[in-house]
């Protein structure tokens, strides 16, 4: 039974991951890059550092620096040296990054509805509670 549960959770998670990866690819970013952009938008104009971003990532990874570098190349985020502490690097989302997220938001809502359409609202709430109790 435990193995069946773990396999079912892994398969569902993998299916969601694949679908969402394909979804954001249309916008020229990867799912981890999308995650970084959402984390930075959640900062509401305040800077984040690499450690903060890595802590909040859905998929923890050691290449957060590379993700940020790719987003800088695309002008979706920018990196600045902190004026008060020159050893501290601050990362901000740009207006272009915010615009991209705004463009993605509505379509993402539709994609998420499609991915979870087999469940009613009560089932969704219960599943969220059950999965949340595992982490």
Give domain limits for the chain.
Answer: 2-134
pLDDT value at 83 more than 80 = no
Residues across the chain:
135
How do residues 25-78 score in pLDDT, each as one tens digit?
999 999 999 999 999 999 998 999 988 999 999 887 778 899 999 999 999 999
CATH of 2-134, one of 3.20.20.150, 3.90.660.10, 1.10.10.10, 2.60.40.60: 1.10.10.10
Say yes or no to pLDDT of 94 above 80.
yes
The percent of residues in the chain predicted with pLDDT above 70, rounded, is 100
pLDDT digits (tens, 9 = 90+) for 70-80: 999 999 999 99
Q: Which residues contact 108 (CB under 8 A, 6 or more apart)?
A: 23
- Under 8 Å between Cβ of 70 and 105: no
Q: How confident is the model at residue 11, as a pLDDT?
A: 94
DSSP 19-45: HHHHHHHTTT--HHHHHHHHHHHHTTT
Give the chain's radius of gyration (CA, Å): 17
Which H or E run includes 109?
helix 95-115
C-alpha 92: how far from chain center: 15
Dist CA 91 CA 129 (whole Å): 33
**105-130 pLDDT, tens digit each:** 989 999 999 999 999 999 999 999 99
């Amino acid at each position: 039974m435990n193995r069946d549960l773990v396999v079912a959770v892994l398969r569902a998670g993998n299916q969601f991951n694949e679908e969402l990866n394909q979804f954001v690819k249309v916008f020229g970013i990867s799912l981890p890059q999308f995650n970084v952009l959402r984390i930075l938008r959640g900062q509401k104009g305040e800077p984040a550092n690499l450690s903060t971003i890595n802590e909040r990532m859905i998929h923890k990874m050691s290449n957060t620096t590379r993700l940020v570098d790719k987003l800088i190349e695309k002008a979706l985020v920018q990196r600045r040296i902190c004026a008060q502490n020159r050893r501290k690097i601050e990362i901000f989302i740009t207006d272009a990054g915010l615009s991209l997220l705004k463009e993605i938001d509505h379509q993402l809502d539709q994609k998420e509805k499609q991915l979870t359409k087999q469940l009613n609202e009560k089932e969704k709430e219960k599943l969220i509670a059950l999965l949340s109790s595992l982490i």
